[in-house]
Amino acid sequence: MNDKLALENQDFLQNVLGLKQILTMFDLLPDIIFWIKNANSEIIYANNKFVEHIGLHSLQQVYGKSDVAFFPPHIAKQFINDDKSVMNGQVITDRIELNMLKTGDFAWFSTSKRPLYDHNQHIVGSYGFTQLMNKTSQVLSSIDAIKAPVEFVRENYHKDICVEQLAQTAFLSVSALERRFKKYLSKTPKQFINEIRLENARRLLIETRLPIVEVAYRCGFSEHSYFSRQFKALFGTLPSQLRDTLHKDS
């Protein structure tokens, strides 16, 4: 009986409602940005909020384009690398991240991504949701709880930063600060410092021709070998390999 009901429900979704009608339902979610991409990270569908988010006027302006067409190079590369990871089977759930608005300002988002399967269970693309985290008091309190130390890191990542300094900016003990970072960002303060440094290093590698050693130094890394290891651990490629790829694509 349950199997029969399940088949009837599946038939209703596929043959009565139709995929197009189901997808348009995502336009009713006012704060959700939704997209579907093919295996080349090109948009094949997005809701109206996505179109609005990137500052365009119609879905036709989005079809067949990748994030490179809409975002600064270092952010587009981040999204495309995410797509590749997801298409390798990785799942991203409620990841809190700083991304750029169409105004050029940065804001907090909560993002989830999944692989997209065909009828034969082969991965053929990816889809995802992201939400600007400024709507609820719970979200606002979450950001406020770590706002001071996060801003301190963003402004001073190129300098020596110790966890004690961050704790002082939030008027917390080190242990209390670490608990907050684990709760709201799922990472330690040291991991956050490292990731902010590496993200800025990736931006410089993409947008400038500065020597890699100089990039490392400007982003707070005193040892080139350590910088390279950390960069590969986070992004899956060495700084030199990223540079080589960029030169080939240019």
Q: What does the pLDDT look like over 120-177, one tens digit per residue?
A: 889 999 999 998 775 544 444 556 778 889 889 988 999 999 999 999 999 999 999 9
If you ran DSSP here, which 8-state letter would residue 162 be given?
A: -
Question: DSSP assignment of 191-241, as one string?
Answer: HHHHHHHHHHHHHHHHH----HHHHHHHTT-S-HHHHHHHHHHHHSS-HHH
CB 71, CB 61: distance < 8 Å: no
| 31-132 and 137-249 share one fold | no
Instruction: Indicate if the pLDDT at residue 19 is higher than 80.
Output: no
Quote the pLDDT of residue 1. 47
pLDDT band at 10 (very low <50, low <70, confident <90, very high): low
Where along the chain do its domains lie? Answer: 31-132, 137-249
Quote the pLDDT of residue 136. 43
Quote the pLDDT of residue 101. 63
CATH class, 137-249 region: mainly alpha
Q: Work out the percent of the chain whose per-residue pLDDT is above 70.
A: 81
Cα 9 to Cα 15, 21, 24, 117: the distances in Å are 10, 16, 19, 20
Quote the pLDDT of residue 235. 77
Determine the Cα–Cα distance for residues 186 and 71; give it in Å rounded to an integer. 26
CB 92, CB 111: distance < 8 Å: yes
Quote the pLDDT of residue 12. 55
| Full-model pTM | 0.57
Say which range, 5-9, 55-59, 206-210, 225-229, has the weakest mean pLDDT: 5-9
| Domain covering 31-132 in this structure, CATH number | 3.30.450.20
Residue 50, C-beta contacts closer than 8 angstroms, at least 6 positions apart: 33, 34, 35, 62
User: Considering the chain, what is the average pLDDT of its residues?
Assistant: 82
